[in-house]
Amino acid sequence: MTGSAGTPFGAGVVTVLPHADASVVDAVHRAGGRVAPLGDDTRGIVWVANSGSGDLAAALERHPDVAWVQLPWAGVDSFAGTLRRFRDDGRIWTSAKGSYARPVAEHALMLALSVLREVPRRARARTWQADERGHSLFGARVVLLGGGGITEELLRLLSPFGVQATVVRRREAPVEGAARTVTDSALPEVLGGADVLFVASALTERTRGMIGAAELAALPEGAVLVNVARGALVDTDALVAELASGRLGGAGLDVTEPEPLPTGHPLWQLDNALVTPHVADTEAMTVPLFAERVEANVAALLGRGEWVGRIDLHAGY
């Protein structure tokens, strides 16, 4: 079951669960695989829902010959328990990490520019505002938390702005487009020089609550925070306090904790906060991109390519 890249796992029988999404079925066929109900000949499972971890675990228990599992999103925190349960049994797990990087990076840039230019406040205005508040992204000092596909795409989008970019990640391996790459142990140090902090890290036990009250306090006065990863990476109460005080310049959030963000939550009331409802990568954007990922990995299952988006089961992403 533990075959390496380029080694086929027998017949390319794939089961699409919990329902047979048409675009995924077509992708399996394009790669030369065969879609069938879950059975003893199933070698791959493509899971197309962002929930149902227990149901997936039960399917894997009943069918130990399943060699590959494809999850639907870049973030796999919804399946953390199942990943831990099966991480040492030799199965290959892949996610959509990297697939949706472009639309999410585009959304992150939109949020940053909007908050820097005071769009949340101005969009709520019902009278002419004569003040000249606002900041430019050109030449800004930018810190990006996370070293994956979103960060890589965001660095490309930021390049024309001539920003000074620092990437904070688990490993100190350099990221193209960043002037500096550091490990997360250096986070307190680099936050003090951030005009804009982009949060684009996977949510794991290690990163949960990574941006708390102390980290927010380390940001310079007027700094902007943008989160397009997971809401639980940031302490919501601490963020609300900093924004309400006026010390931080603002926040652009496509993800929140809790989520959905309840009606009447303080974040909705703050004129220096822009909240979008987890729509950085809409279904219209993600369906064809996920189909491409499935097609590539079915080909790998058949021994005709490399696995794409392979999950590090011990790191959790």
What is the number of other CB atoms lying within 10 angstroms of the CB of residue 284?
8
Tokens matching residue 18? 């919990």
Please tell me which residue in 63, 87, 259, 265 is annotated as part of the active site: 259
Spatial separation of the C-alpha atoms in residues 314 and 77, rounded to whole Å: 13
Spatial separation of the C-alpha atoms in residues 44 and 38, rounded to whole Å: 9
DSSP 141-200: EEEEE--SHHHHHHHHHHGGGT-EEEEEESS----TT-SEEEEGGGHHHHHTT-SEEEE-
Tokens matching residue 58? 């039960």
HSE-up of 233 (CA within 13 Å, CB side)? 23
Residue type for position 18: P
Please tell me which residue in 87, 278, 304, 310 is annotated as part of the active site: 278
Please tell me which residue in 135, 169, 230, 293 is annotated as part of the active site: 230
Q: Coil, strand, or helix at residue 274?
A: strand
Element (DSSP H or E) covering residue 276:
none
Spatial separation of the C-alpha atoms in residues 298 and 232, rounded to whole Å: 33
Residue 62: active-site member: no
Give the distance between the most distant pair of CA atoms in the chain.
70
Q: Coil, strand, or helix at residue 254?
A: coil
Residue 259: active-site member: yes
Size (the chain), residues: 317
Query: Are residues 254 and 229 in contact, defined by beta-carbon separation less than 8 angstroms?
Result: no
Residues belonging to the active site: 230, 259, 278
